[in-house]
């Protein structure tokens, strides 16, 4: 019943803000639905006088955190939205109405066990920023360090849990009622989204994410990450170093300060690919409201509640695809999909290759302002449906981040050539993975495993001979076989390395 009540509330809010005016009226069904909505809106005294962007923003704010996040993502897609709607939705990035300061102070005192006056030398009760999950106050610690204090919204956990139930119900309906439902794995996608939201609702996890990202970019000339003040961090309150800068969306102010905007756009691309391919750990909520630019022209990252992680397999697969795309090697792209098991084994590579070429070839050698990834993704979706490509839930956050990066890049420098900027970095990364540097990394990574496993082989063999149960024998045989395979790989690596060194010496 609670889900039905929530669905009815969504419908009523949409009607009350006159959002039916945004509905397409194509066909008989669309015309009838819009007419019925107009009648219901008249009964509810719908607001149809305010600007449509204002009404949409207010409706999303009324519906809660998940809907606000949806609006944040939409706000970066200025190539897909009318300008008035995009401008209004951009306010959701850091201008969500705040909750009362008294509630923030009460939460800080409850979580940290002391009065605000005892915890901070100074504390600004008016929030400096307010978002869908939390709001931020400024203050100063007793030792003089300036701090930003992030506090979760009261009751936000219940609101998120309620809307996630609706998403789970909708995902189940999509799987059952839509022909493509099972292939798109909507329930797994919702589960992935829920996992990231769960992390965002625990500020200790967010602090740990920030600490990891700060360590990854220690000494970087491109990106700054605030220091966490761990003694003042709890699951509902997080205290960190205060960061000062200009919002990245204020391009004219940045130009007035002498910031090289094209260089800034290129740096953003490099930061993204560094996070994804070097670290396998990336900021997955990179809308303009979470990024500042400091006085030295460096990016400043904020809000680390949603982070993405990729395995070595994911990174290698993505890198191979990117390199193949940049080289227009569509056969390799198709083959990589087949090797990863993302398309059925009976798929004809030549047909899949031709379909990918038809989608991607038109976008190359063109500046970013002429490339619309929204339309590209739509065509790729149509192609994937034709070839039964399985959607990979673990890459959903990466896809979302790519859309954010496009929106930010388009805003900073419409003439940015994304391909020229990214290709050298990816080629360098691939050479480090598959060349002799990659070999050394693999040996270093495997060394601890072999140091502990090789001495166990005689004992495992004895246990195998003494074991009576067939199942246990099979398990031990399988383990010994895996050890043998790893040993053979290690020996092959060593032989290859020695051969390479010998050739190098002979050629000197």
- Give me the DSSP letters along 218-274: TT-SSEE-PPB-GGG--SSEEEEE----EETT-HHHHHHTT--HHHHHHHHHHHHHI
User: Residue 411: which of 53, 90, 194, 54 has the closest Cα?
Assistant: 90
Q: Are 138 and 242 in contact (CB under 8 A)?
A: yes
**Residue 106 exposure: Cα atoms within 13 Å on the Cβ side:** 7
Phi, psi at residue 329, to the nearest 5°?
A: -95, 75
CA distances from 432 to 89, 316, 435, 501 (A): 42, 12, 5, 17
Residue 495 confidence (pLDDT): 45
Helical pair 312-326 and 418-434, crossing angle rounded to 10 deg = 130
Q: Which entry of 163, 285, 314, 413 is annotated as an active-site residue?
A: 285
Residue 392 confidence (pLDDT): 64
3-state helix/strand/coil string of 64-123: CHHHHHHHHHHHCCCCCCCHHHHHHHHHHHCECCCCCHHHHHHHHHHHHCCCHHHHCCEE
Q: How far apart, in whole angstroms, are the C-alpha atoms of residue 450 and residue 284?
A: 35
Below-70 pLDDT ranges, the chain:
1-3, 20, 22-34, 70, 73-81, 93-96, 170, 173-174, 177-186, 189, 192-193, 196, 364-369, 371-382, 384-385, 390-397, 399-400, 419, 433-454, 456-457, 459-508
The residues spanned by each domain of the chain are 2-92, 157-196, 243-434, 436-506
**DSSP H or E stretch at residue 140:** strand 134-140
Residue 501 confidence (pLDDT): 42
Residue 490 confidence (pLDDT): 46
84 as an active site residue: the answer is: no
Residue 182 confidence (pLDDT): 65
């Amino acid at each position: 019943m609670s889900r039905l009540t929530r669905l009815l509330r969504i419908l009523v809010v949409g009607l009350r803000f006159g959002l039916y005016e945004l509905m397409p009226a194509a066909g008989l069904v669309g015309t009838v639905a819009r007419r019925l909505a107009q009648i219901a809106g008249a009964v509810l005294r719908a607001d149809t006088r305010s600007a449509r962007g204002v009404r949409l923003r207010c409706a999303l704010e009324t519906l809660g955190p998940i809907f606000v996040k949806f609006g944040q993502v939409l706000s970066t897609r200025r190539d897909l939205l009318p300008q008035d709607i995009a401008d209004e939705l951009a306010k959701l990035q850091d201008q969500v109405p705040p909750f009362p300061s008294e509630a923030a102070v009460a939460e800080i005192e409850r979580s940290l066990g002391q009065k605000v006056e005892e915890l901070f030398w100074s504390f600004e009760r008016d929030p400096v920023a307010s978002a869908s999950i939390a709001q931020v106050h400024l203050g100063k610690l007793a030792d003089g360090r300036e701090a930003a204090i992030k506090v979760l919204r009261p009751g936000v956990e219940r609101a998120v849990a309620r809307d996630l139930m609706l998403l789970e119900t909708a995902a189940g309906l999509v799987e059952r009622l839509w022909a493509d439902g099972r292939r798109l794995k909507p329930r797994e996608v919702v589960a992935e989204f829920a996992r990231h939201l769960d992390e965002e609702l625990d500020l200790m996890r967010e602090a740990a994410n920030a600490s990891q990202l700060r360590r990854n970019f220690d000494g970087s000339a491109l990106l700054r990450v605030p220091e966490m003040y761990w003694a003042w961090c709890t699951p509902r309150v997080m205290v960190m170093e205060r960061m000062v800068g200009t919002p990245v969306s204020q391009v004219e102010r940045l130009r007035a300060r002498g910031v090289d905007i094209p260089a800034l756009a290129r740096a953003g691309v490099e930061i993204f690919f560094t996070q994804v391919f070097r670290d396998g750990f990336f900021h997955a909520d990179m809308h303009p409201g979470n990024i500042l630019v400091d006085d030295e022209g460096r990016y400043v990252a904020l809000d680390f509640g949603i982070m993405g992680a990729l395995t070595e397999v994911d990174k290698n697969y993505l890198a191979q695809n990117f390199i193949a795309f940049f080289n227009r090697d569509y056969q390799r792209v198709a083959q990589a999909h087949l090797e990863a098991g993302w398309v059925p084994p009976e798929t004809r590579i030549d047909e899949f290759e031709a379909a990918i070429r038809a989608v991607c070839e038109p976008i190359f050698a063109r500046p970013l302002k002429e490339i619309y990834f929204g339309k590209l993704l739509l065509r790729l979706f149509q192609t994937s449906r034709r070839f039964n490509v399985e959607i990979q839930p673990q890459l959903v956050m990466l896809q979302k981040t790519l859309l954010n990066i496009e929106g930010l890049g388009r805003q900073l420098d419409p003439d940015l050539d994304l391909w020229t900027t990214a290709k050298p970095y990816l080629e360098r990364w691939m050479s480090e993975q598959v060349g002799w540097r990659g070999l050394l990394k693999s040996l270093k990574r495997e060394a601890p495993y072999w140091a502990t496993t090789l001495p166990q082989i005689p004992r495992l063999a004895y246990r195998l001979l003494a074991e009576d149960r067939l199942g246990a024998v099979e398990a031990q045989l399988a383990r010994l076989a895996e050890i043998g395979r790893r040993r053979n790989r290690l020996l092959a690596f060593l032989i290859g390395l020695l051969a390479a060194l010998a050739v190098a010496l002979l050629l000197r």
